[in-house]
Amino acid sequence: MAYKFEDLEVWQRSLDYADAVHEIADELPEYERYNLADQMTGAANSIALNVAEGSTGLSDTEQDRFLRIAVRSLLETVACLHLVKRREYLDDLDPLRAAYKESETLFAKLQAFRSSLDKSSGVEESPIEYTDGAPF
């Protein structure tokens, strides 16, 4: 592959996760097309885009900054999954469960990637610990 990020498992998984979120968004009612659907797909895309953009940084501290943005985008998509469930937009909850499970794995991979970086030259944010288990 030509670019560093293309070989990263976390980037490849973020693409798979974005595809799953897009499939869920495609099932939402038409009146959510320019609201919740766009919000959740934009956030899902942002995960992969920030991993890619951060990989070209000049320092681990800069890469960490983009990974933190990716984590925040991931959490935004999880909040959107909760809204989809709460509003009962899907008859079949299996896609929500699968996406939630993948979000947990992707979160762990992003956090592990962040932890592997040498961030001694910058300000560090404490890692966030989340419990395992889908609410759907």
CATH T-level assignment (fold) for domain 4-116? de novo design (two linked rop proteins) (1.20.1440)
Residue 54 DSSP code: H
Domain ranges of the chain: 4-116
pTM summary value: 0.86
pLDDT confidence of residue 26: 97
Digitized pLDDT (tens) for each residue of the chain, 136 residues in all: 689 899 999 999 999 999 999 999 999 999 999 999 999 999 999 999 999 999 987 789 999 999 999 999 999 999 999 999 999 999 999 999 999 999 999 999 999 999 999 756 554 556 666 667 778 8
pLDDT confidence of residue 58: 74
Q: Residues 6 or more apart from 94 whose CB is under 8 A from it?
A: none
3-state secondary structure of 29: coil
